Amino acid sequence: MFHRTVFNRLRATPNSKWCSHVSTSELSTIGSRSRGSVSKKKPPDTKFVQKKRSGRTRCFSVHSNGSLCKLSIAGIQQKKLDEKYISMVTAYDYTSALLADRAGFDILLVGDSLGMVQLGYDGTEKVTMDDMLHHCKAVSRTSKNSFLIGDLPFGSYLNVDDAVQNACRLVKEGGMDAVKLEGGTRVERSIAAIVDSGIPVQGHIGLTPQTATQLGGFKVQGKTAEAAVGLYEDAMALQKAGCFSIVLECVPERVATEITQSLDIPTIGIGAGRGTNGQVQVFHDVIGMYDRLQPKFAKQYVNTSDIICDALSSYREEIETARFPDESHVFKIKDTQFESFRYAAGLTVFEHDGNMY
Ligand code: KIV
């Protein structure tokens, strides 16, 4: 009964404007990248979303003229209004950014998951600003078509000043279009300050890996009515603080769908079911390249670990059996040059006046 009253009160709260912290016109100044007009429509209705899902509706960043190019913040938000799904994947270096860019993703996230899949840590807590900048630079050097978001690592936004300063570094030095940070009401002041400094912010609530220990481990969040209300309130606070979108990680599908429908800004789900406005996955999970953790929500589309391992084993075997390199891999030198070289280096034996030299 108590919960129903709370839910009704929360429902009765009118939806904030397009983005309550800033008006639509201000939105186009948040980061010089935000351009384009936004028309306000009803948010997607669940049934419609799910029907489209089962019909495998897909949406790439193909622009009206058919070409692939980078979406603006307004363009990303417009996808929610147009009931089109936002596609996002992580990328950490030249190779992954190139491939993800070519595959046509709306957003590439230089996630602090790089601590696990690139640096071999058990979690994300040890990732530093220097680590993030190193990888952000590689991705921004490479990707031309996707909107780029860089994660603020653990400890880099403990107070408002640090948050603004480090967000600026990810944009100025790392070449990111926006930053993402984890947390709900606890970080709303930092988010508002970063947005005020001109940098678009993506929020991240639910399972927040940087503080997973505090959450009792890598667990689904929002499974009780009370916890779900907490998530709802966090989501509303992030929207109010000026986030242009929110990642919902490991949240029951129905809770994520309700939150999505209550927000004006888009949600991107990871383990949050089918009712969010987009999906994000870790690159290495999608291509089957990380063997230490296989979360239930991850879908492996190919097992590149096996393919790569087979290729490496074949290479090793060919070295050991002298089958690599073969004729096609070697470089040639003209006979005359070769003989001169052997003569000059004293490697050749020749006869002169009956003497052997
Ligand atoms: O760091 C990361 O890769 C992330 C995504 C999983 C959302 O935060």
Report whether pLDDT(306) > 80: yes
pLDDT at position 51 is: 32
209 CA closest ligand 1 atom index: 8
pLDDT at position 158 is: 96
Name the residue with tokens 């220097």. Answer: 130
Look at 30 and 143; give whichever has higher pLDDT: 143
pTM summary value: 0.80
**Model confidence pLDDT, tens digit, residues 121-153:** 999 999 999 999 999 999 999 999 999 999 999
The pLDDT mean for the chain works out to: 84
Report whether pLDDT(31) > 60: no
Look at 200 and 3; give whichever has higher pLDDT: 200
In the structure encoding, which two tokens stand for residue 23, read together?
């008006």
Q: Name the band, by pLDDT with cuts 50, 70 and 90, for residue 68.
A: low
Q: Which mutation among 90, 110, 245, 246 tests ligand 1's pocket best, with the greatest number of atoms within 8 A of CB?
A: 90
Bridge partners (DSSP) of residue 355 are: 352
pLDDT at position 157 is: 98
Q: Ligand 1 centre from 318 Cα, in Å?
A: 39
124 CA closest ligand 1 atom index: 1
pLDDT at position 161 is: 98
Look at 28 and 265; give whichever has higher pLDDT: 265
Domain ranges of the chain: 2-307
Which residues form ligand 1's pocket by a CB distance below 6 Å? 90, 109, 111-113, 151, 204, 247, 249, 270, 280, 282
Q: Name the band, by pLDDT with cuts 50, 70 and 90, for residue 46.
A: very low
Roughly what angle, to the nearest 10 degrees, separates helices 253-262 and 225-241? 30
Q: Name the band, by pLDDT with cuts 50, 70 and 90, for residue 295.
A: confident
pLDDT at position 220 is: 94
268 CA closest ligand 1 atom index: 7
**Model confidence pLDDT, tens digit, residues 256-290:** 999 999 999 999 999 999 999 999 999 999 999 98
Whole-angstrom distance, CA of residue 282 vs CA of residue 247 = 13
pLDDT at position 357 is: 64
- Mean pLDDT calculated for residue range 323-349: 93
In the structure encoding, which two tokens stand for residue 156, read together?
């880099």
Range with lowest mean pLDDT among 86-95, 126-135, 244-253, 286-295: 286-295
Whole-angstrom distance, CA of residue 204 vs CA of residue 143 = 23
Q: What proportion of the chain, given as a percentage, has pLDDT over 70?
A: 80
Report whether pLDDT(25) > 50: no
DSSP 118-148: TT--SSSTT--HHHHHHHHHHHHHH-SSSEE
Bridge partners (DSSP) of residue 247 are: 204, 268
> Helix, strand, coil % (nearest 5) of the chain?
40, 15, 45
- Mean pLDDT calculated for residue range 188-213: 96
pLDDT at position 205 is: 98
User: Which CATH architecture fits 2-307?
Assistant: Alpha-Beta Barrel (3.20)
Alpha-carbon torsion, ordered 64, 68, 73, 79, to 10 deg: 60
- Best CA proximity match to 237, nearest among 16, 87, 73: 16
Report whether pLDDT(34) > 70: no
pLDDT at position 215 is: 85
Report whether pLDDT(171) > 60: yes
- Concerning whether 249 is annotated as a catalytic residue, the answer is yes
Q: Ligand 1 centre from 66 Cα, in Å?
A: 29
Neighbour-count burial of 160, counting CB atoms closer than 10 A to its CB (0-12 exposed, 13-18 middle, 19+ buried): middle
pLDDT at position 270 is: 98
Report whether pLDDT(7) > 90: no
Q: Whose CA is nearest to atom 8 of ligand 1?
A: 111
Q: Which of 249, 258, 320, 339 is catalytic?
A: 249
112 CA closest ligand 1 atom index: 1
Q: Which mutation among 121, 170, 249, 286 tests ligand 1's pocket best, with the greatest number of atoms within 8 A of CB?
A: 249
